[in-house]
Chains A and B, each alone.
Chain A
């Protein structure tokens, strides 16, 4: 039985042009809405798979605004069983703050009944996070969290299986496929591409609506990220190549799709 905690972040769902808020402290998502980043979605999928394979539970956690409940519900809708919101203004937080708050939640839950708090003495054998956030891209929270919890950490992982108190994790390294056997408890950060995140079902979504979200406040005032402002990179030059016209172009398109690895 493996209890998994998966940590996610509410991020703008950009697929084209990125807009910044007027104060340049965050991205403006009004045209695209919010979502989980692809790394987070894969982490959630892995959490649900591991929990299900081991008869454990998957709990989802986020540190962010009250609106982040929307993303918690998305994770609940695909099979997480419990949710924790550490409510905070995301712009004020730095990676160290986020790692500290997650660690605090983990410890509190493990302490369980003592403080009378929720979580009921749950020990998280495995903590999964997306490798990095799609908006701030700090690449730090996973490692800092492992440090806070004094647990081993593997980053950039694509698949996770658990057996006999050990997580077997795979990732793609510079030299080829890497495999690690990590004793639990451990922290693993996930890159997209190893699993295909499921969509919610209607029944899943309805169930998710009924699960209460545990809301916590920050343990201490955030120290922040030290970030002055966000800036946009110069627009990438758009180059369009006309592959052909009409049915004759079909073969070229198929070749291209296969080259890109999106053809089946």
Chain B
């Protein structure tokens, strides 16, 4: 047995599916001097991998999770540990059938073979399922099971064979050494290892290990109950581990998965049963393994009945007994995504909250990220840097996972809001907003008014122009008031609370070179200019898009969306020059947007400063004095809604004054408070403005997004080389704006897409872009000023023709769409005259 070495290039903590995959891919990418530790024995050290049910359904609504799953399936197959069984997601209710239709959208968008089938079809493949219990099913032939322990062993042993890996089972990590914000060593019960890199890949124990370095890893161990019933004669007569398709009984939140002669019944229907990482038993203390906790029967009893209902002859068979039952621990996060990437401690990486279906894919992606600074599959939704401080607290994770556990198999609307742990961050004018009947939605803790009930009268005023939605699903988490506010803004003016912006001030002699190196756009501009810029990774994929204001020779203010602001903060911090510093002003400066044809009149009535076009040009910023506000206001003339107006930056203490002053002054001009429903969707879509996280991500380029400028600055910046090459090459896809020509469904009801739907030929044929991907709707929303529903989608180059007639599939019906724009040219006001 190997002894603990004194030094290593990288120490990987954990020998579950993630750690094993990681060491394999690190070796593949040329890493040497790797040490892998686990406190348990091999091949099953006792973590979640050891008791996983090991089945994989590839279709998920998230592209990122689907891509990681598909990559993992490919790797499992290469290792010869994948058995294809096929899988059904069965529906007992019409509501679920509708969700399965929506699932078809995702299947088509991600190019995964699937179909909706009848109960008889299911029964033919699963003869012991009572077809009278279901009304239909979603059939995925590529579903299968894997041997995750074997896969881990294969990957680990491959890495071992290279001679670059030392594996140390039965070694427990007791502490991590950090000096000057950098990981230095791993302290184990059998000696210290000095290391340049450390990866925490130990699943449910990760928070405990992270705490040793002061890094909060926001996952919680949670129970997933599973029983195994057998021997079932119908299964016993078949050879091998699995010969019948896996059944997910979606409406009861259960699954039935054959395992030899037994049927495993797993449940996501019980109350959320959460544990603390520190209170997981040791191997000696555990009954079976540390993550197989004692079964709590009462929680499972209702599922027994439902499972028996679905498969009475099998589960009620003579001699079929419940011979194994566990409360298995797995990792849950507040937003359901894994936790990957480099922590705030340099060299300390995390790869946790990963399930079997994503394990090998995550291992590859994280290894690539550690090697190149980026991965082939965009994993930004899983970036550990995404969490704001309150989101890393255990209370938050517990509250959110308690709420979301029951939604594991649930029908979750894309705009659905959490109910728990709300009201964490309020803008200074929240009280006034509540008085206006603001309906608050949450973004990274911020409570943001999505619309104001006080504007409900506008719905009547604008009538059908608000594009009312008659179908409950389309109208859920939505209000026609959003579109009414939009029209009022375009008619007069709107006042928008943008407090949730993340704001960083970069100062010092190295400020300019810091932002120059980080941003694509030329930042060496006159003081008082505003720059809109993409931020790229080294391979030329989007990391963000944001604005930068030059407030002084050595002072730049970066303003970015709240949702992604935390990751941007880490990126800018990591790319600071030595003689530059960054201050996070997010919680000090509030932002209020004032836009619309009357915006200038309103602002002029409040300030002695010159706000004429000549005196205050587009893309400039300046401090102004505003009546009734006891602090200077930094006004910045830009717009994300395509209207004349300003973003007004003001200290938190004076923000409520400014809000009241602008709304008061605006009253006579017809200005109304306007919510994020307009700012984030309708206003920007009419203008074709791209959003990071929707249109823009690390797998997309400036050229594909139609955002290239005539020139590229001479100064070097991250991704420059790749960007130059992209400009020379033919793009593989082109971001287009489409409008829906007819919303009428077969039932006669008008339907409105919400995003994620596949774009097909007019006849319903598949389209494929130069990446081999299929086009899908990246953003969808009303364009009330156009009277159209607008969709953004990356199309194959030869389909990107204005006037091209295509179709969008929504809930398994085709709706005609027409391409309206094949670059960033907005459908509304293409020459941007309104902004002037």
Contact = CB atoms under 8 A, between A and B. Distances in A.
A32 B287 contact: yes
Given A199-B323, A202-B229, A202-B315, A31 B287 contact: yes
A112 interface: no
Interface string A181-197: 00000000000000000
B288 to A, nearest CB: 8
B308 A202 contact: yes
A225 B351 CA distance: 52
Interface string A141-157: 00000000000000000
A13 B294 contact: yes
A199 B426 CA distance: 55
A199 B324 CA distance: 9
Interface in A149-184: none
Nearest to A16: B284
Nearest to B229: A202
15 contacts: A13-B294, A16-B285, A29-B294, A30-B279, A32-B281, A33-B295, A70-B298, A198-B321, A201-B316, A201-B321, A202-B229, A202-B316, A205-B304, A205-B322, A209-B301
A14 B288 CA distance: 10
B320 interface: yes
A39 interface: no
A198 B305 CA distance: 20
Contact of A199 (B279, B304, B321): B321
Contacts of A209: 301
Nearest to B294: A33
Given A199-B321, A203-B316, A16 B283 contact: yes
B246 interface: no
Contact of B322 (A30, A32, A34, A200): A200
A209 B302 CA distance: 10
A200 B321 contact: yes
Given A199-B323, A200-B321, A201-B322, A206 B305 contact: yes
B808 to A, nearest CB: 45
Contact of A206 (B282, B285, B296, B304): B304
A202 B304 contact: yes
B297 interface: yes
A34 B286 CA distance: 13
Contacts of B308: 202-203, 206
A199 B323 CA distance: 6
Interface string A17-39: 10100000000011111100000
Contact of A19 (B285, B294, B301, B315): B285
B307 interface: yes
A198 B286 CA distance: 23
A5 to B, nearest CB: 23
A15 B321 contact: no
Nearest to B1: A242
Given A16-B285, A202-B315, A203-B316, A31 B322 contact: no
Interface of A: 13-17, 19, 29-34, 70, 73-74, 198-203, 205-206, 209
Interface in B271-285: 279, 281-285
Given A202-B229, A203-B316, A16 B321 contact: no
Contacts of B282: 17
Interface residues of B, number: 27
B303 to A, nearest CB: 10
A34 B287 CA distance: 11
Contacts of B307: 202
A70 B298 CA distance: 8
Given A13-B294, A30-B279, A198-B321, 10 more contacts: A15-B287, A16-B286, A17-B282, A17-B285, A19-B285, A31-B286, A201-B229, A201-B320, A202-B316, A209-B301
A169 B520 CA distance: 88
B293 interface: yes
B27 to A, nearest CB: 23
B287 A14 contact: yes
- A-B pairs with the 6 shortest C-beta distances? A33-B294, A199-B321, A31-B281, A17-B284, A32-B287, A16-B284
A104 B268 CA distance: 44
B283 A31 contact: no
A201 B279 CA distance: 32
Given A13-B294, A33-B294, A70-B297, A202 B285 contact: no
Given A15-B287, A206-B305, A199 B294 contact: no
Contacts of A203: 308, 316
Interface in B248-291: 279, 281-288
A199 B286 contact: no
A73 B297 contact: yes
A32 B286 contact: yes
B339 to A, nearest CB: 26
A164 B305 CA distance: 40
A14 B281 CA distance: 12
Contacts of B305: 206
Contacts of A14: 287
Contacts of A74: 297
Residue from the set A17, A34, A73 with the largest chain B CB neighbour count within 10 Å: A17
A16 B298 CA distance: 25
A15 B283 CA distance: 11
A38 to B, nearest CB: 14
A135 to B, nearest CB: 15
Contacts of B321: 198-201
A76 B541 CA distance: 62
A206 B301 CA distance: 7
B287 A205 contact: no
Contacts of A206: 301, 304-305, 308
Nearest to A17: B284
Nearest to B282: A17
Given A16-B283, A31-B281, A32-B287, A205 B301 contact: yes
B644 to A, nearest CB: 65
A31 B293 contact: yes
B320 to A, nearest CB: 6
B279 to A, nearest CB: 8
A205 B286 CA distance: 25
Interface string B316-335: 10001111000000000000
Given A19-B285, A209-B301, A202 B320 contact: yes
Contacts of A202: 229, 304, 307-308, 315-316, 320, 322
Nearest to A32: B287
A114 to B, nearest CB: 36
